[in-house]
Structures are given as structure tokens and as C-alpha cells.
Amino acid sequence: MGLFSDVEQMGLGEVNVDKIFKEDGKNSHTHIQKAKTEKKEPEKREEDLLFDKSYQCPICDSQFKVKAVRSGNIKMIDQDEILRPIYENHIDPLKYDVVSCPHCGYTTLSRYHKPVTTGQLRTIRQEYCSNFKGIPQEEPCMSYEGSLLRHKLALICAMKRNAKNSEKAYIFLKMAWLLRGEQDELPKDNPKQMELKKEERECIEKAYEGFLSAFSKEPFPMCGMDEISLRYIMAVLAHKIGEREESVRMLAKVLTSKTAPQRLKDKAFDLKEEIKKEVVQEKNAQTS
């Protein structure tokens, strides 16, 4: 089963994951470490932090509402090793960062919910909306499955309107975070864990590939990130998929940057040390 088999079964066409970005990048393989999370007793209920946010669809003009999180009420407490923000009380606002029109299916990340060109409108109506048969609404809260499905629709819509590689890469990064969130939510011995881990890995590879091809061609800020922050994110993703040399090269840029905040430099230094340790451990394993 491919990552996009569920949307393909909805009749939205085949998604060729090898052709998502406008040029080829590199793929490679490595293991994925176990997620570390802090378990805390729930205090606030997720549904109490939600409100209905109104949108107008740029494709079919319908007015609709989607659930959104009152950001003032929720605090980020940590980031995991793939930089996924972790929030207090086990609430995950990342699930709500996607806007999907219930009428025509047009879907984007909320930051990309914007007017489209006439050409984009035509292509999306002809090649996407005409095949859209609806998706289940999520009540009272968004599930990881529901959010992932919407992110896949966002990716298809981004492809149909020929969006920048950075936007598509960012959707993959968000999907990797959601897949990690879903793994954390499920019991460790749940049979679905393996599949989610595999999909997370695939999304990290695609995110890295997309950011790599966007990096030298697109202006900053990119997806709301400045150059040095994106370098650090790419170093983390590269390390995760076994592109160790690339990771070290990007970390060096962060460490020698005149503008990088000290906090980011500290994190870059820690990752560089971790990679050094890995190399030593591998050498020792080979000689013993």
C-alpha cells in the first residue's frame, strides 16, 4: 500500500510520489529512532480549545467553516527530534492547520489559503474537483487520520496549481509530524505502528528532497522560515534519512552564521556532536 493509496481509492487519480517536485533530488535510507514524548495528565480538553473559523473557497466560492485552535490557549512545551512542536496537555494543533472546502474538496495548508489564478482555477476544477466525492467531517475533534487525509488532498491541490517546491516540501514535513503524533497516541504494540513509521520516513525523505530543490531557487522567507532556520531543519531531516555529510555541511553553515541566534547554534552543535558519536560507534562496531 502506497502513502497515497487512500486518496487514490477516492478516485482522485494516481499520485506519483517520485514526480512531486519539479526536478529530481536524492533519496536514501536510514533507521528511524523511537519518539520520545512526555506523558502528562490531560487538563484541558481539545474540543474546548476549538472554534469555527470561516473561509470562502477560492475555487467554488462557497462559504464554509473549519475547526481551528485558539492559539492563545495552548502552549508549546518541547520539540521532538524531527522538530515537531509538542504542546501541553497532549493537544496537537498541527492537525487543524489545513483548510478543506467541504463542497469542492479544494484543500491547502491554512497559510496558503489564498486566491488562485484563472489558469489554476480551471485546472483544479477540471482535474480535481470533478473527481471529488466528499470526505467525512471530523467531530468533535480532528483525528490524525482525518488530518493526514486532508494534507494529502492539500498536496494534490498544490501539484494541480503548480505550487512552489517549498510549499509541497512543507506539506510533507507537516505530514511527517502528524504521523509521529499518531504514533505517540497509539499504544506501542499497535500493529499500525510499523506502517506509520514507514510513512513518516517517506514523508521526511520527500520534505528534504523538496526543500533541497527549493533552497537555491526560491526567495526567503520560505514557508515562514528564514534561511538559517531552514538550513537547520534540513540538517535535521538529512541526518534522519542518513545523508550525514549533507547534514554536517548544513550544520557548519548554521554554526558559522553571523545572524543565527545562539539557541539555534547550540542545537546545531548538539546535532553535530551526535553525528560524531555515531561515526565513532560505527567504526568501533566494524573493528570489534
- Which residues here bind Zn ion, judged by CB under 5 A? 57, 59-60, 62, 101, 103-104, 106
For the record, the C-alpha cell of 277 comes out as 558519536
Return the number of other C-beta atoms located less than 10 Å from residue 283's C-beta: 10
Nearer to Zn ion, 16 or 63 (CB): 63
Nearer to Zn ion, 57 or 82 (CB): 57
204 neighbors 240 (Cβ within 8 angstroms): yes
Nearer to Zn ion, 83 or 116 (CB): 116
As measured in angstroms, the least distance from the Cβ of 115 to Zn ion is: 13
As measured in angstroms, the least distance from the Cβ of 91 to Zn ion is: 28
Nearer to Zn ion, 56 or 79 (CB): 56
Dist. CA 35–CA 193, nearest whole Å: 12
Dist. CA 167–CA 219, nearest whole Å: 12
As measured in angstroms, the least distance from the Cβ of 102 to Zn ion is: 8
89 neighbors 166 (Cβ within 8 angstroms): no
Q: How far is CA 13 from CA 6, 49, 83, in A?
A: 11, 36, 32
As measured in angstroms, the least distance from the Cβ of 281 to Zn ion is: 52
As measured in angstroms, the least distance from the Cβ of 213 to Zn ion is: 30
64 neighbors 101 (Cβ within 8 angstroms): yes
Q: How far is CA 12 from CA 8, 76, 203, 233, 236, in A?
A: 5, 35, 20, 31, 33
As measured in angstroms, the least distance from the Cβ of 56 to Zn ion is: 9
22 neighbors 163 (Cβ within 8 angstroms): no
Nearer to Zn ion, 60 or 141 (CB): 60
Nearer to Zn ion, 106 or 208 (CB): 106
